[in-house]
Amino acid sequence: MADAYLRQSPLAHLGLAARAAIPPEDIEGTEAGVVLCERPARHQIGLRGDARRPAFRAAVKGVLGFAPPAKATTAAGGTGLPRALWLGPDEWLVVTDDDDAATVADLSEALARQHAHVVDLSDARAVIGLAGAGARDVLMKGCTLDVHRRAFGPGRCTRTLLARAQVIVHQITQAPDYDLYVQRSFAEYLWAWLEDAGTEYGVRVTA
Amino acid sequence: MLLIPCPWCGRRDESEFACGGEAHIARPADPDAVSDAEWADYLFMRTNPKGAHRERWVHVHGCGRWFNVARHTVTHDISAAYKVGEKPPGDAS
């Protein structure tokens, strides 16, 4: 993790906090079908290991409170934090609070004697929140993933391409409400794409 | 575009994948023991069939896993996708 005084969101220069502070009644146009926000910084931990080994599952469960999800393209941990997102059959992204520095240390210690891998990736990706009635339609514009409610619902996550940028899509609630984890060098591009794609539904920025 | 059935993630668009060429090409166990011609055959020569073909693909923008696909090179019909180390469907050997 970078020193705190050097840390800056890749979207910091867009003034999103100021836009979010504008009262909705002061914004012209129709109701917002797409609600975008930048999620607060989170601790993101790359975790790799063999999920078939009980010792590995037990060690992770001892730290997080749940085992890493073995089922493909699912997330564990529900709507709160920490969460574990399935990225591959032996690869997960563990997401915790930004001030939770203990988890990465605890995971490293718990898995020290195993063939496993724990690395802090917190500043590698920005997290964009996408919600609203038009959120699914916006995703469909730039993503080949089947996001129909029968195929992709709450608690599902996967890596895929959105507007040609690699993202991790995590659907949190049925509403729908998505988290988009995007590499920080793509974050500004993806934000601009999302705003453009959402224009026809009306875009509102929240904190 | 192909719709490729990743053994882990399910059916996904071809744009998420990269093709790694023909599958089931075994590296000679002892490279020093083979002739230059045999080594060149291993490195460069591929069957390039017009018809049924087995090839390696990687889900590079998904789970990141390599796996094998049985594809018809004319019709693009994908008859099977199977994990590395598994025998191709219909292969009795």
Polymer length of chain B:
93
pLDDT at A22: 83
Asked whether the beta carbons of residue A158 and residue B62 sit closer than 8 angstroms, the reply is yes
CA–CA separation, B37 vs B35, rounded Å? 5
Q: For A67-122, how does the pLDDT look when each residue is reduced to its tens digit (9 = 90+)?
A: 999 999 999 998 888 999 999 999 999 999 988 889 999 999 999 999 999 999 99
Q: ipTM, 2 decimals?
A: 0.87
CA distance A45 to A91: 11
Q: What pLDDT score does A163 carry?
A: 96
Sign of CA dihedral A112, A42, B63, A157: positive
Tell me how far apart the alpha carbons of residues A177 and A196 are, in angstroms, rounded to a whole number. Answer: 19
From the number of C-beta atoms within 10 Å of its C-beta (0-12, 13-18, 19+), residue B27 rates as: exposed
| Nearest beta carbon to residue A91 from set B11, B13, B64 | B64
Q: Is B59 exposed, middle or buried (0-12, 13-18, 19+ CB in 10 A)?
A: buried
Please name the residue of chain B whose CA is at the shortest distance from the CA of residue A164: B15
- CA distances, A87 to each of A135, A162, B65, B89, B90 (Å): 22, 16, 10, 27, 31
> Which DSSP state fits A83?
E
pLDDT single digits (tens) A149-175: 999 999 999 999 999 999 999 999 998
Q: What is the CB neighbour count within 10 angstroms for residue B79?
A: 13
Domains of chain B: 3-83 (3.30.2270.10)
Q: Which residues of A touch B16 (CB under 8 A)?
A: 144, 160-161
Task: Give the position of tokens 């889900």.
Answer: B59
Q: In what order do the strands lie in the sheet with B66-72?
A: B18-22, B52-58, B66-72, B78-83
Domains of chain A in sequence order:
33-39+124-206 (3.30.1360.120), 42-122 (3.30.70.1520)
Question: CA of B3: which chain A residue's CA is closest?
Answer: A144
Q: Report the chain B residue with the minimal C-alpha distance to residue A169.
A: B62
CA angle A95, B66, A82 (to 5 degrees): 10
Q: Half-sphere exposure (CA, 13 Å, Cβ side) for B12?
A: 26
Sheet holding A117-120, edge to edge: A75-76, A83-88, A91-97, A42-48, A117-120
Which residue among B13, B15, B61 places its CB closest to the CB of A159? B61
pLDDT digits (tens, 9 = 90+) for B12-22: 999 999 999 99
How far is Cα A18 from Cα A205, in angstroms, rounded to an integer? 9
**From CA B81, how far away is CA B83, in angstroms rounded?**
7
Element (H, E) at A48: strand A42-48
Query: Does A3 score more than 70 pLDDT?
Result: no
